[in-house]
Amino acid sequence: MPDSSPSARRFLAPAQVAELLSIQVNEVIELVYQGRLSGSKLGSPARWRIEESSLADYLAEQSEEARRMALWRQANEASFPEVWGAPFGHGS
C-alpha cells in the first residue's frame, strides 16, 4: 500500500513533465518560476524536479479553466437578436 505521508512525495524530471504536457522543458521551468508548478533543485549536481502532486493540481486547474472558457464562449455565441427579435433601428 503506498505511503501517503508528506515525506513520500514523488518527483518528476522536467523532461517527463514536458512530455506529459506536450510543451518544452524551458516552459516547465517557467511554470515553476510562475508558481504554477512546485519544483526544487535536488541532488548533486542540483537538478530541477517537479512535485508530482503539483502537476495533478496544475492539470485540474487547466481543465477547470477550459471548462469555464467553453461556457463563456457558449454564452457569447447566444444570439440575442434571434432570441429577442431584431434590434431597434433594424426594421423589416
Q: What is the pLDDT of residues 45-86, one digit of tens each?
A: 999 999 999 999 999 999 999 999 998 888 877 655 555 555
Q: What is the pLDDT of residue 62?
A: 94
Three-state secondary structure call for residue 85 = coil
pTM: 0.69
- Residue owning grid cell 486547474: 61
In whole angstroms, how far apart are CA 48 and each of 19, 36, 68, 89, 91? 15, 15, 32, 62, 65
- Secondary structure element (H or E) that encloses residue 42, with its range: strand 39-42
Structure-block grid coordinates of residue 63: 481543465
Interval 39-48 mean pLDDT: 93
pLDDT tens-digit series, residues 21-35: 999 999 999 999 999
